[in-house]
Amino acid sequence: MKKTLILYSLLLVSFFIQICFMRYAVWFPDLVLLIVVFTAVFHGVASGVLIGLAAGFLKGVFSGYTFPLEIVLFPAVAIGAFMMAGMLYRQSPVAQMLIAALAILSVTALQVLYLNTISGNDLGLTAALANSWRAIIVTTMITPFVFYLLDNYT
């Protein structure tokens, strides 16, 4: 129960940090996604899906158009991260980086495809990934450090 409360508190804190600082910092990781992936990898699929549902709700409320997608997307990311962790050695920093990279790439791609469908725009998926390369790289690179801290304190 204590670990769950800590994870939800960290989710809220990381969400508000991301809202406040993401517009000012170009090189800012997706902390909410990292908490969802960490929970799924180290605490199981049930906890990961619940944290993913909470994260999707929070991100959806503040993003407006993507609300229905975010509610489904983050629990799906948790399931995918859990399955990848079952195939790989989850303590390996390389495996953690791979799981986080696949998660952020899939989230970005699905958000662009969803917005293309809803708005009728023809946003290029390649252009969207190219525009968010900083967030993808930073999120991937700090994953082992964040996972180490979260593993020791939750």
Q: Estimate to the nearest angstrom the gap between the alpha carbon of 88 and the chain centroid.
A: 19
Instruction: Domain count for the chain, please give it.
Output: 1
Digit-by-digit pLDDT tens for the chain (154 residues) are 788 889 999 999 999 988 887 767 778 889 999 999 999 999 999 999 999 999 999 998 888 778 888 999 999 999 999 999 999 998 999 999 999 999 999 998 898 888 888 877 776 777 777 788 888 999 999 999 999 999 988 7
The whole-angstrom separation of Cα 74 and Cα 134 is 21
CATH number of the domain encompassing residue 119: 1.10.1760
DSSP string, 53-88: HHHHHHHHHHHSTTHHHHHHHHHHHHHHHHHHHHHS
Coil, helix or strand for 123? coil
Domain coverage including residue 134: 2-153
Task: Specify the pTM.
Answer: 0.91
**CB neighbourhood size of 55 (10 A):** 27
